C-alpha cells in the first residue's frame, strides 16, 4: 500500500523535502512507517519524540495504516480583505482586529476580550529580525475549530474567533488573534486564555526565529 508522508518546519528541512510517497506492506502501522522514515532521515528524530497525525488526527504508533492515508510528522508546536476570514482561519494575509471583533460582537454580549500575539524584538537574549511561521494548515484549522467548539460548550453562550498568520512577519506584526464575546466578562476572559494556551500546545503551527546570528525553529511552548 502507498502512504503520503508530509513533513513540516524543522523536519522538512532535515529531510530536504516536504512530502513523498512511502510503500508499506498490508497491515503496516504508524510505528512501521516512522521506523522507515527515521531510518532514511535520522535527523528528524534526533533527540526528539516524533508526534504523528494520520489523516489530520493525532494517533499513536499502534494505529493501523491504509492505502492512501496521509501521514504527517509533527514537530513540537511552539508556541486580507476585510470580513473574508471565517471565525477559524490560518492565513498568509495580515490579520485585522476589526475583522475578528466583527465575527464575535453581539448586542447581547457585554464582555468582549481580544488577545494579540505580536512579533517581539528580542527573544532568548537575541535581537529578532523577523519570524517565519509555517503550518499544517488543514489540520491546524481543524484543531483550532475543535478548541473553539469545546470552549463554546464549556463556557457558552460564547462567540470565538481564532486567526493565525503564516509566512514572514516583521517585528511588531500580529501573528495571532483570539477574540471572545460572552454575556459577562468572566467567561470571555477564561475562554480567551484557554484558547491561546491550547493553540500553542496542540495546533501544528511552528515559528522560525531569524536573529542577527542565524535562524532556528522554536520547538517548544513560547
pLDDT value of residue 123:
85
Pairing state between β 88-91 and 159-165: parallel
**β-pair partners for 211:** 128, 214
Sorted by where each begins, the domain ranges of the chain are 2-74, 88-218
Query: Nearest-CA neighbor of 151 among 199, 111, 117?
Result: 199
pLDDT at position 78 is 54
Compute the mean pLDDT over every residue in the chain, rounded to the nearest whole number: 87
| pLDDT number for residue 207 | 93
φ and ψ at residue 92, rounded to 5 degrees: -85, -10
pTM (global) more than 0.85: no
Q: Which regions of the chain are under pLDDT 50?
A: 80-84
**pLDDT score, position 194:** 97
Can you give the pLDDT at residue 84?
41
| Predicted pLDDT of residue 164 | 95
pLDDT value for 46: 57
Phi and psi at 191, nearest 5°, equal -65, -40
At 13 the pLDDT is: 84
- Using only C-alpha atoms, the chain has a radius of gyration, in whole angstroms, of 19
Determine the topology of domain 88-218 in CATH: Aldehyde Oxidoreductase; domain 3 (3.90.1170)
Distances (CA, A) of 190 to 39, 152, 180, 195: 44, 11, 9, 9
137 close to 119: Cβ distance less than 8 angstroms: no
- The distance in angstroms from the start CA to the end CA of the chain is 39
CATH number for the segment(s) 2-74: 3.10.20.30
Tens digit of each residue's pLDDT (9 = 90 or more) over 18-56: 889 999 999 999 888 988 888 888 877 655 566 788 998
Amino acid at each position: 500500500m502507498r502512504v503520503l508522508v508530509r513533513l513540516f518546519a524543522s523536519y522538512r528541512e532535515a529531510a530536504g523535502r516536504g512530502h513523498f510517497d512511502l510503500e508499506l506492506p498490508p497491515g503496516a502501522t504508524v510505528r512501521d512507517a516512522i521506523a522507515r522514515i527515521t531510518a532514511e532521515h535520522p535527523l528528524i528524530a534526533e533527540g526528539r519524540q516524533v508526534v504523528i497525525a494520520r489523516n489530520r488526527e493525532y494517533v499513536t504508533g499502534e494505529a493501523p495504516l491504509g492505502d492512501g492515508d496521509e501521514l504527517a510528522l509533527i514537530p513540537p508546536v511552539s508556541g486580507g480583505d476585510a470580513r473574508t476570514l471565517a471565525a477559524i482561519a490560518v492565513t498568509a494575509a495580515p490579520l485585522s482586529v476589526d475583522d475578528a471583533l466583527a465575527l464575535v460582537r453581539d448586542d447581547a454580549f457585554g464582555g468582549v476580550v481580544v488577545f494579540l500575539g505580536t512579533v517581539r524584538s528580542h527573544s532568548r537574549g537575541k535581537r529578532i529580525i523577523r519570524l517565519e511561521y509555517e503550518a499544517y494548515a488543514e489540520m491546524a484549522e481543524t484543531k483550532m475549530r475543535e478548541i473553539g467548539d469545546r470552549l463554546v460548550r464549556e463556557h457558552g453562550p460564547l462567540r470565538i474567533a481564532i486567526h493565525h498568520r503564516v509566512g514572514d512577519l516583521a517585528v511588531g506584526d500580529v501573528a495571532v488573534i483570539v477574540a471572545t464575546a460572552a454575556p459577562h466578562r468572566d467567561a470571555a476572559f477564561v475562554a480567551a486564555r484557554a484558547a491561546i494556551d491550547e493553540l500553542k500546545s496542540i495546533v501544528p503551527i511552528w515559528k522560525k526565529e531569524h536573529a542577527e546570528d542565524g535562524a532556528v525553529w522554536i520547538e517548544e511552548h513560547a
